[in-house]
Each structure stands twice: as C-alpha cells, then as structure tokens.
Amino acid sequence: MLSTCNHKGCRRKREPNNPFCRIHTTHNLLSFILKGKKERREINNLLKGLSRVERLISILIYIEELTPEEIGYTLDLSGSSIRRRHRKLLERLSPHLRTASKIIYPFTPDLNKKHIIRIREFSNELITFLAEHPKYLYNVKHRDFERLVAHLLEIRGFDVKLTAPVRDGGHDIVAFGTDTLGIKTKYIVECKRYRPDCPVGVRLVRSLYAVKDIEQAQHAILATTSYFTRDAIALAQTPTILNLHLKDFNEITKWLKGCVDLKPKQ
C-alpha cells in the first residue's frame, strides 16, 4: 500500500487511515466545512480564532475558488505570500480538525461542484429578476458573472467577445462600440464576482490599466459584485489615469435596471 499522500505532486506521508497527508487532510476538511457541509455554528467557531486576513484567505480559496495570485491582487499581497499564509493556516488548524476527519472521510472529489444558480440562457425575465434581487449575483459562478456582464454590454449595442476562461489576471471581455461620429472604440473588461466583504484592491486596478495599454484599448472597465478600496478608487481618479472605469455592486445593479426594457442586439 502506498504511504505517500494522494494529492497530486505531494510526497508527504499519509495520515493514519487517511489517503492524504496532514496538510492536505486539513485542506480538504476546511473546504468541506466552508462549503456549507457542516452546521453554520461550527463554521463560525472555526473562523472566530482567525485574523481578518486569514478569514479572507479562507473564504477566497475555499468558497470563491480563487488562485493565490488572484487573492494577492485582492489583498495587495504577492501570490507566494498568500501560499505561505495558507500553509501556516492549515498547520495551525490541523489539530482542531483532526477528529473531524474520521466522520467526513471518505472525501468525495466532486463534493463541492453543485451550482446554486447556473445561467444557461439570458432573457428579459432573468435580467428583471436580477435587477429586482441583485443579491442573487453572489450565487452565480464566476464564469456566469462574466457572461452576464458581456450580455449587458451586448444589450447596449456593443460588439462583445468573451475571452477563454483562463486565470491570467488579464481581462475577461473585449467589447467594441461605435460613437455618434462613427469612430470605433475598444473596451477591455475584467469581472470579479466577489463576496460583499471582499473588496477589490489597488493592485488589480493597476494591473488592468497596464493590460489596457498592452491591448491598445481606449477604455478599461473593472466590474465587481463587491466594492473597491479607497486606494483603488484614488488610483482610478488620478488625473494621469485615463478611461479606467470602476463598477461596483451598486453600478452593476444600475446596469441591470437600465437594461430591463432594452432588447438584445440582433
């Protein structure tokens, strides 16, 4: 019988009667708990002893399913720093979750794949529903939020292309619009479907502005279901920073309401 962890690339020794090592056992258990498979009281007790940054890292990794690099943009930290903090967090939580492993295992790999809302097609009824109940935006998956923003731009007459679903920190949407003079304008759009307590930081704003220049786009839009930090807003309002638009939860809600009576572009 193999004695090493079943996690891909891990060479640590397995825990007794467990297919994973101590670190990945804790990782799987924490994912299981934060995905809502345990009582809410137990989740609150688990997070109570963590710092604000540790709570955010836990939420962004296990609930939002972001990469360390994406979390780094959010918290203004490097990806390697997020990995170190995550590892220390798992080591600290390991003793507290050790007894739970006997109850939860065997761990099912596709345990957390159920979608609360899966947008398969857009309709006036769906747009109207989201406009009236914008908090349901927090229940859609990341890719569906990108598709929703693309659809809202399309309704307003933009020629829209949704980019491949890769986490490269670049942009999710390319849109072309034509002004009243017939001049074509290129937009790049980055979408972040974050929880309301996970703000978008200045590093992500700065990165998108750099991509705007690389892509030779005239405008860049950063759309999120959360809000922006003061530093992020200050950067976007800098006189030398041109055509960088920040759209938070309230702005997205206005987009939805403004599109309710509009017809999609044919």
- pLDDT band, very low/low/confident/very high, at 149 (cuts 50, 70, 90): very high
The rounded distance, in Å, linking the Cα atoms of 248 and 222 is 8
For position 265, what pLDDT does the model report?
A: 45
CATH of segment(s) 22-104: 1.10.10
For position 5, what pLDDT does the model report?
A: 75
Higher pLDDT, 16 or 188: 188
Domain ranges of the chain: 22-104, 124-259
157: left (phi over 0), alpha (psi -120 to 50) or beta: left
Pairing of strands 159-162, 173-178: antiparallel
182: left (phi over 0), alpha (psi -120 to 50) or beta: left
- pLDDT band, very low/low/confident/very high, at 101 (cuts 50, 70, 90): very low
Dihedral angle, C-alpha 223, 246, 254, 148, nearest 10 °: -20
For position 224, what pLDDT does the model report?
A: 95
For position 1, what pLDDT does the model report?
A: 42
- pLDDT band, very low/low/confident/very high, at 98 (cuts 50, 70, 90): low
Residue 120 has pLDDT above 70, yes or no: no
For position 119, what pLDDT does the model report?
A: 47
The helix/strand/coil state of 38 is coil
CB contact at 8 A, 204 and 222:
yes
For position 13, what pLDDT does the model report?
A: 78
Q: DSSP label at 5?
A: -
pTM metric for this prediction:
0.59
For tokens 């937009």, name the residue.
187
- pLDDT band, very low/low/confident/very high, at 92 (cuts 50, 70, 90): confident
Long-range contacts of 129-137 (CB under 8 A, 24+ apart): 130/256, 131/253, 131/256, 131/257, 131/259, 131/260, 134/249, 134/252, 134/253, 134/256, 137/193, 137/225, 137/249, 137/252
- pLDDT band, very low/low/confident/very high, at 20 (cuts 50, 70, 90): confident
The listed range with the strongest mean pLDDT (22-36, 65-79, 199-213) is: 199-213
Average pLDDT for 205-218: 91
In the chain, % of residues over pLDDT 70 = 75
Q: What is the pLDDT of residues 45-70, one digit of tens each?
A: 666 677 888 888 887 887 777 888 88
Hey, do 22-104 and 124-259 end up sharing a CATH topology, with the first three levels equal?
no
Residue 122 has pLDDT above 50, yes or no: yes
Higher pLDDT, 174 or 49: 174
Tokens of residue 132, six digits? 């009236």
Residue 264 has pLDDT above 60, yes or no: no
Q: How far is CA 68 from the centre of its chain?
A: 11
- pLDDT band, very low/low/confident/very high, at 166 (cuts 50, 70, 90): low
Residue 210 has pLDDT above 60, yes or no: yes
Give the architecture (CATH level 2) of 124-259: 3-Layer(aba) Sandwich (3.40)
Residue 115 has pLDDT above 50, yes or no: no
